[in-house]
Amino acid sequence: MARVWQATRTAVRSAGLGLGVFVCVLLGGATAAAVAAEGPQPNAPAPVFEGATADGHMVALDQFRGQPVVLEWTNHLCPYVQKHYGAGNMQALQRRLTDAGAVWLSVISSAPGKQGHVSAETARALTDARDAAPTHVLLDPDGRIGRAYGATATPHMFLIDAEGILRYMGAIDDQPSADPATVETAENYLAAAWDAVAAGAAPETQVTRAYGCSVKY
Protein backbone atom coordinates (compact mmCIF):
# COMPACT_ATOMS: atom_id res chain seq x y z
CA MET A 1 0.00 0.00 0.00
CA ALA A 2 2.88 2.34 0.78
CA ARG A 3 4.18 1.90 -2.76
CA VAL A 4 0.77 2.70 -4.23
CA TRP A 5 0.50 5.78 -1.97
CA GLN A 6 3.92 7.05 -3.05
CA ALA A 7 3.32 6.32 -6.77
CA THR A 8 0.00 8.11 -6.65
CA ARG A 9 1.43 11.17 -4.89
CA THR A 10 4.16 11.36 -7.54
CA ALA A 11 1.60 11.07 -10.36
CA VAL A 12 -0.60 13.75 -8.80
CA ARG A 13 2.31 16.15 -8.49
CA SER A 14 3.50 15.52 -12.06
CA ALA A 15 -0.03 16.12 -13.35
CA GLY A 16 0.00 19.57 -11.78
CA LEU A 17 -2.69 18.80 -9.18
CA GLY A 18 -2.61 20.25 -5.70
CA LEU A 19 -1.89 17.87 -2.85
CA GLY A 20 -5.30 18.83 -1.49
CA VAL A 21 -6.85 16.41 -4.00
CA PHE A 22 -4.29 13.70 -3.26
CA VAL A 23 -6.58 11.56 -1.11
CA CYS A 24 -9.48 11.95 -3.55
CA VAL A 25 -7.29 10.73 -6.40
CA LEU A 26 -6.07 7.75 -4.39
CA LEU A 27 -9.56 6.69 -3.31
CA GLY A 28 -11.34 7.51 -6.55
CA GLY A 29 -11.58 3.92 -7.76
CA ALA A 30 -8.25 3.93 -9.62
CA THR A 31 -4.91 5.42 -8.78
CA ALA A 32 -3.63 8.36 -10.81
CA ALA A 33 -0.80 6.14 -12.04
CA ALA A 34 -3.29 3.59 -13.36
CA VAL A 35 -5.40 6.24 -15.05
CA ALA A 36 -2.31 7.84 -16.63
CA ALA A 37 -1.19 4.47 -17.97
CA GLU A 38 -4.32 4.33 -20.14
CA GLY A 39 -3.45 7.48 -22.08
CA PRO A 40 -0.44 8.99 -23.83
CA GLN A 41 2.78 9.03 -21.85
CA PRO A 42 5.68 11.50 -21.94
CA ASN A 43 8.91 10.02 -23.30
CA ALA A 44 6.91 7.38 -25.19
CA PRO A 45 5.78 7.31 -28.83
CA ALA A 46 2.93 9.74 -29.46
CA PRO A 47 -0.37 8.18 -30.60
CA VAL A 48 -0.51 8.05 -34.39
CA PHE A 49 -3.46 9.59 -36.19
CA GLU A 50 -4.81 10.73 -39.53
CA GLY A 51 -7.26 13.58 -40.01
CA ALA A 52 -8.78 16.03 -42.44
CA THR A 53 -7.64 19.64 -42.49
CA ALA A 54 -9.79 22.72 -42.98
CA ASP A 55 -8.12 23.04 -46.40
CA GLY A 56 -9.50 19.68 -47.48
CA HIS A 57 -6.33 17.60 -47.20
CA MET A 58 -5.58 14.47 -45.20
CA VAL A 59 -2.56 14.57 -42.92
CA ALA A 60 -1.05 11.91 -40.66
CA LEU A 61 1.38 12.24 -37.79
CA ASP A 62 3.81 9.84 -39.47
CA GLN A 63 4.29 12.16 -42.44
CA PHE A 64 5.91 14.74 -40.17
CA ARG A 65 8.62 12.42 -38.85
CA GLY A 66 11.83 14.40 -38.70
CA GLN A 67 10.03 17.56 -37.56
CA PRO A 68 8.75 18.49 -34.09
CA VAL A 69 4.95 18.64 -33.90
CA VAL A 70 2.77 20.78 -31.62
CA LEU A 71 -0.86 19.83 -31.05
CA GLU A 72 -3.19 22.56 -29.78
CA TRP A 73 -6.79 21.74 -28.89
CA THR A 74 -8.93 24.78 -29.57
CA ASN A 75 -12.49 26.12 -29.40
CA HIS A 76 -12.95 29.69 -30.59
CA LEU A 77 -15.88 30.28 -28.20
CA CYS A 78 -13.92 29.30 -25.10
CA PRO A 79 -12.87 32.30 -22.96
CA TYR A 80 -9.52 30.68 -22.18
CA VAL A 81 -8.78 30.24 -25.87
CA GLN A 82 -9.95 33.81 -26.49
CA LYS A 83 -7.52 34.97 -23.78
CA HIS A 84 -4.51 33.60 -25.64
CA TYR A 85 -5.64 34.65 -29.11
CA GLY A 86 -6.93 38.04 -27.98
CA ALA A 87 -3.58 38.80 -26.38
CA GLY A 88 -1.72 37.58 -29.48
CA ASN A 89 0.06 34.98 -27.35
CA MET A 90 -0.97 31.88 -29.28
CA GLN A 91 -0.21 33.43 -32.66
CA ALA A 92 3.23 34.59 -31.50
CA LEU A 93 4.05 31.10 -30.24
CA GLN A 94 2.79 29.54 -33.47
CA ARG A 95 5.07 31.75 -35.53
CA ARG A 96 8.06 31.34 -33.26
CA LEU A 97 7.90 27.54 -33.29
CA THR A 98 6.98 27.07 -36.95
CA ASP A 99 9.76 29.47 -37.97
CA ALA A 100 12.09 27.18 -36.02
CA GLY A 101 10.89 24.12 -37.95
CA ALA A 102 7.88 22.84 -36.01
CA VAL A 103 4.61 21.63 -37.49
CA TRP A 104 1.72 23.21 -35.55
CA LEU A 105 -1.65 21.45 -35.72
CA SER A 106 -4.66 23.21 -34.21
CA VAL A 107 -7.29 20.54 -33.49
CA ILE A 108 -11.03 21.16 -33.24
CA SER A 109 -12.72 18.18 -31.57
CA SER A 110 -16.11 19.77 -30.89
CA ALA A 111 -18.87 17.42 -32.04
CA PRO A 112 -21.65 18.56 -34.39
CA GLY A 113 -24.22 20.56 -32.44
CA LYS A 114 -21.75 21.27 -29.63
CA GLN A 115 -20.03 24.56 -28.78
CA GLY A 116 -17.03 25.22 -30.99
CA HIS A 117 -18.02 22.91 -33.84
CA VAL A 118 -17.33 24.65 -37.15
CA SER A 119 -17.32 23.90 -40.84
CA ALA A 120 -14.09 23.85 -42.78
CA GLU A 121 -14.99 27.23 -44.27
CA THR A 122 -15.56 28.77 -40.84
CA ALA A 123 -12.32 27.26 -39.53
CA ARG A 124 -10.41 28.92 -42.35
CA ALA A 125 -12.17 32.23 -41.71
CA LEU A 126 -11.32 32.06 -38.00
CA THR A 127 -7.67 31.46 -38.80
CA ASP A 128 -7.62 34.53 -41.03
CA ALA A 129 -9.59 36.72 -38.64
CA ARG A 130 -7.31 35.92 -35.70
CA ASP A 131 -4.14 36.20 -37.80
CA ALA A 132 -3.32 32.71 -36.56
CA ALA A 133 -0.42 30.77 -38.02
CA PRO A 134 -0.87 27.02 -37.52
CA THR A 135 0.55 24.72 -40.16
CA HIS A 136 -2.85 23.03 -40.40
CA VAL A 137 -6.22 23.17 -38.67
CA LEU A 138 -7.46 19.62 -38.08
CA LEU A 139 -11.18 18.90 -37.96
CA ASP A 140 -11.93 16.09 -35.50
CA PRO A 141 -15.75 16.11 -35.13
CA ASP A 142 -15.91 12.46 -34.06
CA GLY A 143 -13.27 13.07 -31.39
CA ARG A 144 -11.00 10.21 -32.44
CA ILE A 145 -7.82 12.25 -32.28
CA GLY A 146 -8.85 14.05 -29.11
CA ARG A 147 -9.66 10.84 -27.27
CA ALA A 148 -6.45 9.18 -28.46
CA TYR A 149 -4.53 11.96 -26.74
CA GLY A 150 -6.84 12.29 -23.75
CA ALA A 151 -7.42 15.96 -24.61
CA THR A 152 -9.67 17.39 -21.92
CA ALA A 153 -9.54 21.15 -22.30
CA THR A 154 -9.19 24.03 -24.70
CA PRO A 155 -6.40 24.86 -24.89
CA HIS A 156 -4.62 21.54 -24.27
CA MET A 157 -1.06 21.38 -25.61
CA PHE A 158 1.22 18.52 -26.68
CA LEU A 159 4.81 18.63 -27.93
CA ILE A 160 6.13 15.72 -30.00
CA ASP A 161 9.79 15.65 -30.94
CA ALA A 162 11.23 14.91 -34.37
CA GLU A 163 11.43 11.20 -33.55
CA GLY A 164 7.74 10.97 -32.72
CA ILE A 165 8.24 10.93 -28.94
CA LEU A 166 5.82 12.85 -26.75
CA ARG A 167 7.84 15.33 -24.70
CA TYR A 168 5.22 17.56 -23.07
CA MET A 169 1.47 17.40 -22.42
CA GLY A 170 -0.78 19.75 -20.48
CA ALA A 171 -1.52 23.43 -19.96
CA ILE A 172 0.03 26.14 -22.11
CA ASP A 173 1.12 28.01 -18.98
CA ASP A 174 0.76 28.26 -15.21
CA GLN A 175 -2.04 30.86 -15.17
CA PRO A 176 -5.45 29.09 -15.17
CA SER A 177 -7.37 32.30 -15.76
CA ALA A 178 -9.34 33.78 -18.65
CA ASP A 179 -7.83 37.21 -17.95
CA PRO A 180 -5.51 38.28 -20.82
CA ALA A 181 -3.42 40.29 -18.36
CA THR A 182 -2.06 37.04 -16.89
CA VAL A 183 -0.26 36.19 -20.13
CA GLU A 184 2.53 38.66 -19.43
CA THR A 185 3.49 37.14 -16.09
CA ALA A 186 2.87 33.49 -16.96
CA GLU A 187 5.43 30.71 -17.07
CA ASN A 188 4.81 29.22 -20.52
CA TYR A 189 5.20 25.47 -20.12
CA LEU A 190 5.05 24.76 -23.85
CA ALA A 191 7.73 27.31 -24.71
CA ALA A 192 9.96 25.99 -21.93
CA ALA A 193 9.53 22.42 -23.14
CA TRP A 194 10.33 23.53 -26.69
CA ASP A 195 13.50 25.29 -25.58
CA ALA A 196 14.67 22.23 -23.64
CA VAL A 197 14.04 19.79 -26.50
CA ALA A 198 15.70 22.15 -29.00
CA ALA A 199 18.75 22.16 -26.73
CA GLY A 200 18.82 18.37 -26.61
CA ALA A 201 17.54 18.17 -23.03
CA ALA A 202 14.47 16.77 -21.34
CA PRO A 203 11.87 19.36 -20.34
CA GLU A 204 11.93 20.09 -16.63
CA THR A 205 8.12 19.94 -16.62
CA GLN A 206 6.68 17.20 -18.80
CA VAL A 207 3.09 16.84 -17.58
CA THR A 208 0.71 19.44 -16.17
CA ARG A 209 -3.01 19.63 -15.67
CA ALA A 210 -4.64 21.41 -18.64
CA TYR A 211 -6.97 24.27 -17.82
CA GLY A 212 -9.74 25.85 -19.90
CA CYS A 213 -13.12 24.79 -21.26
CA SER A 214 -13.89 21.10 -21.52
CA VAL A 215 -13.52 19.58 -24.98
CA LYS A 216 -17.07 19.27 -26.33
CA TYR A 217 -17.05 15.65 -27.51
- Residues 43-72, mean pLDDT to the nearest whole number: 98
138-149 pLDDT per residue, tens: 999 999 999 999
* pLDDT number for residue 194: 98
pLDDT digits (tens, 9 = 90+) for 101-124: 999 999 999 999 999 999 999 999
Ordered alpha helix ranges (H), the chain: 2-14, 22-26, 32-37, 79-86, 89-99, 120-129, 144-149, 189-198
Contact residues for 92 (Cβ-Cβ < 8 A; gap 6+): none
For the cut 80, the answer to whether the pLDDT of residue 30 exceeds it is no
214 φ, ψ to 5°?
-65, 145
**What residues are paired with 155 via a beta bridge?**
none
Mean pLDDT value across the chain: 87
What is the pLDDT, as a whole number, of residue 39?
A: 82
Report d(CA 4, CA 45) in Å as an integer.
26
Sign of CA dihedral 143, 146, 147, 151: negative
Q: Which pTM was predicted?
A: 0.83
Give the three-class secondary structure for 19.
Answer: helix
